[in-house]
Amino acid sequence: MTRPVPIPTTCQLHARQYNADFADAYETLVPKSALTATAIYRAITHQTPAWIDHLMRLRHAVMAPFGIKNHGVLSGVGVEPSVPGQRMGLFEVVSVTPHELVLQDDDKHLVVQLSVLKQIGDATHDKLTLSTVVHIHNTLGRAYMVFVGPAHKVIAPAVMRRAAAAVTQACDNPAHEP
């Protein structure tokens, strides 16, 4: 079950939420595995519902005249290395540990940061938390978040609801990256 939660105190974004213009977190249980937070992020993005990628394409079309970056769709994360400073799909990698992947995109209208945090759950499950923090730079960012903020509250849980199946599938695939 996916549910909204406070940003965990162990999350690297925890302190950044206090002066943020937008912050939330969603938690779900996934099967216990040796997968890293990065491998789980790859797995869940590959399970992105098609309607979310369609919304991303619409967002790009609407925002293009304003000079907002287009880095593709959520499901477009490839097998590129998760190295700080390099892009991993829509986002740039900020930091990587086996238990947390922090990503961000800093554009002229806002900076969005994402954390994928894997924590110990119980004997058969790990706890996975997706945290988002947004800092708005200007009026365009405020206008953008009027639409994107409510959409995010639908999109993030939809992605997280597929996390358990994505982890299971990644573990069943011998080519998965731990």
Beta-bridge partner residues of 24:
132
Instruction: Write the single-letter amino acid at 55.
Output: L
Asked whether the predicted pLDDT for residue 70 surpasses 90, the reply is no
Region at 20 (left for phi over 0; alpha for psi -120 to 50; beta for the rest): beta
Determine contact, residues 178/36, Cβ cutoff 8 Å: yes
- pLDDT for the residue numbered 174: 54
Residue ranges of domains in the chain, CATH in brackets: 3-171 (3.30.530)
The model carries a pTM of 0.91
d(CA 105, CA 103) in angstroms, rounded, equals 7
Q: What pLDDT digit, counting tens, does each position of 126-153 carry?
A: 999 999 999 999 999 999 899 999 999 9
